[in-house]
Structure 1
Amino acid sequence: MNKTPICILGGTGFVGRHLINALTATGYPCRLILRRPERYRDLRLVPGLEVRPGDLFDAEDLGRHLAGCGTVINLVGILNETRTSRFERVHVELVEHLVAAARTAGVGRLLQMSALHADALSGGSRYLRSKGAGEDLAHRALESGIAVTSFQPSVIFGRGDRFFNRFAGLLRIVPGFFPLACPNARLAPVYVGDVVAAMHTALADPATHGQRYPLCGPRVFRLQELVEYTAATIDRRVRVVGLGNGLSRLQARVFEWLPGQPFTRDNYLSLQTDNVCTRDGLAELGLRATDIAAVVPGYLR
């Protein structure tokens, strides 16, 4: 067993839970830092996982929790902003605190979760620009001796996801037709198990230091095709009506005021950039991408 703990930030989310299970199952002790650990008491039952209360935005406090860890994995991210959670604070300022804390604690390895086509300067949305800025900050830690690897996934699917499950929930309640914004947006959904495998593989491979890996599934779809696939999988006869550009923008303007912000203007801007890979990062890591047909029906049905 590797006795040096891996510290995980953002481990309560969809990817985080899958990653924790995979790492602890293969003998990696993990340490999870949570602001409100009492909300996630079920995680205390995971063998090999230590849960600690802490403030991720306090570099000094974070440094204390990183002490003794050989690796830190940052999965923290938001798709939409709230009054208290802003893109720049979560995606950029947090990475600044993390890198400073990692230096102080002597952590030698950092895995950073980014997003496909994240770019600090030319990203098509504030989400993509902030993700790109955070990724760049993480890679600058190489200058201080921290071995950094980042991952840029397309939309991630798997049991418990917020993509196919969300559309399935909406399709089950609509009255026969479904108005879909940005129907021609192109995506290459990647399986959460493949994302976890990519991170797991990179942990012990020095060749991945300093690298940025785009992660995509084996097929490219239009968004409308994926929603129609979801409807067919759950056996719902719903007509998916693709909206034009103007109505898509209008839907975003209206929906971002609804509870849970199902679709925002920044989401609309993100979808203007095709969410597909120009390199096969999974293949570079010796992994083979999993198709949606092998996984999605098993949890949607």
Structure 2
Amino acid sequence: MQILIIGGTGFIGSSLAARLVAADHTLTLPTRHREHAARLLVLPNLDLVEANVHDPATLAELVHGKDAVINLVGILQGSAERFAQVHVALTERIIAACEVAGVPRYLHMSALGAGIDAPSMYQRSKGLAEARVVASALAWTIFRPSVVFGRDDRFINLFARLQRHVPLVPLACASARFQPVWVEDVSRAFAAALERDALVQQKLDLVGPTVYTLAQLVRLAGQWSGHPRPILPLPDAIARVQACMMALLPNPPLSSDNLDSMKIDNVAPAGFAAVLGWTPTALEAVMPQCLAPDNPAARYRRTVSSRTWKFPPSQ
């Protein structure tokens, strides 16, 4: 298949791209900065192009002739206007371009807890985007993962890095509950949806086999990375002050909207979507090896982290 992956250069997109090229699909991945996705250039049958996907004319060119379009775009922090632009307006533009081009298949990344009446701007914008997809004429499938873990995730790894540098962890929403899902189970689900007609017009929850509190996840991250630290649960009022202070940082790890998202548990009582036909991988089967201080991959990433890659402009 000829497949366009929008938002495909990030953590989940990298896993999905590797899986799809291994299945002999040909991929197009638009990106704002080609050098930021240099690691993907080793994959065969992958065209990495600099493009502004928010431009309707550019989108029309990108979707032309594609057998499937996958939308992985998402942000965790921003203003109401920014969430609306990235999650809702972009989804509308992608849907419109796909309908005009007659794209046979559309896969959409949403989030567990998404809903138009949800507590946070993030969840509400994801819910509005879902509504736009469902109302479209496309052959769609929507995926709703809990937090996604893996070697380069920005969740478990964040807490592991934090505990290398602080004597204790002041933690907002320590009792919030999550059901983390492995990135490879997520990418496998997307790949399966391209092959199975039974998954058309389906919303699928993607979660792991175990529910954890946020405090439990932070404790495990510290333990597995070799830097366990005491955890200090914060009352909501102090957590709000902490989030406001962090908002002043260039890439804040926490926002007030994140706190709003954690007002409801990020779990799926029915578990991993049974229609997919496999049991998801447990957190304990993956992350201890990924976070271990003597992990060769971790040592390599530390060695090359300051290297800057340069490529000629896209033709």
What's the TM-score bracket when you normalise by the shorter of the two chains? over 0.9
Q: 1:94 is aligned with what amino acid? A: L
Q: 1:170 is aligned with what amino acid? A: L
CA distance in 1, matches of 2:24, 2:139: 22
Task: State TM-score, norm by structure 1.
Answer: 0.93
Q: 2:162 is aligned with what amino acid? A: L
CA distance in 2, matches of 1:82, 1:132: 16
Aligned residue among 2, 5, 8 for 1:5: 2
Aligned residue among 91, 96, 105 for 1:95: 91
Superposed CA deviations along residues 208-235 of structure 1, whole A, max 9, x for unmatched, are 1111011111000110011011111122
CA distance in 2, matches of 1:235, 1:26: 37
Determine whether 1:56 maps to 2:53.
yes
Contact conserved, 1:112 with 1:150, CA < 8 A, in 2?
yes
Q: 1:39 is aligned with what amino acid? A: H
Determine whether 1:163 maps to 2:155.
yes
CA shift at 1:282, angstroms?
Answer: 3.2
CA distance in 1, matches of 2:98, 2:209: 35
CA distance in 1, matches of 2:257, 2:27: 34
CA distance in 1, matches of 2:74, 2:168: 32
Match for residue 269 of structure 1? 260
Q: Secondary structure at the match of 2:165?
A: coil
Task: State TM-score, norm by structure 2.
Answer: 0.89
Q: Secondary structure at the match of 1:172?
A: helix
Structure 1 stretches of 5 or more lacking a match? none
Determine whether 1:33 maps to 2:25.
no
Structure 1 segment 253-292 matched on structure 2, within 5 A: 253-292=244-283
CA distance in 1, matches of 2:228, 2:268: 32
Identity %: 40
Q: What stretches of structure 1 move > 6 A for 4+ residues in a row?
A: none
Match for residue 300 of structure 2? none
Superposed CA deviations along residues 68-118 of structure 1, whole A, max 9, x for unmatched, are 1010000000001179x8100000000011011111222111000000010
CA shift at 1:127, angstroms?
Answer: 0.2
| Range moving further from structure 2, 283-292 or 180-189 | 283-292
CA distance in 1, matches of 2:226, 2:35: 39
Contact conserved, 1:172 with 1:236, CA < 8 A, in 2?
yes
Contact conserved, 1:282 with 1:288, CA < 8 A, in 2?
no
Aligned-residue CA RMSD in angstroms? Answer: 1.5
Contact conserved, 2:30 with 2:53, CA < 8 A, in 1?
yes
Determine whether 1:135 maps to 2:130.
yes
Superposed CA deviations along residues 34-89 of structure 1, whole A, max 9, x for unmatched, are 23324333423310111223221112221111111010000000001179x81000
| Range moving further from structure 2, 46-55 or 7-16 | 46-55
Match for residue 303 of structure 2? none
Match for residue 143 of structure 2? 151
| Range moving further from structure 2, 267-276 or 226-235 | 226-235
Contact conserved, 1:64 with 1:105, CA < 8 A, in 2?
no
Determine whether 1:106 maps to 2:95.
no
Contact conserved, 2:108 with 2:143, CA < 8 A, in 1?
yes
Determine whether 1:18 maps to 2:9.
no
CA distance in 1, matches of 2:111, 2:40: 26
Structure 2 stretches of 5 or more lacking a match? 293-315
CA distance in 1, matches of 2:4, 2:134: 18
Determine whether 1:241 maps to 2:215.
no
Q: Secondary structure at the match of 1:136?
A: helix
Q: Between Structure 1 and Structure 2, how many residues are aligned?
A: 292
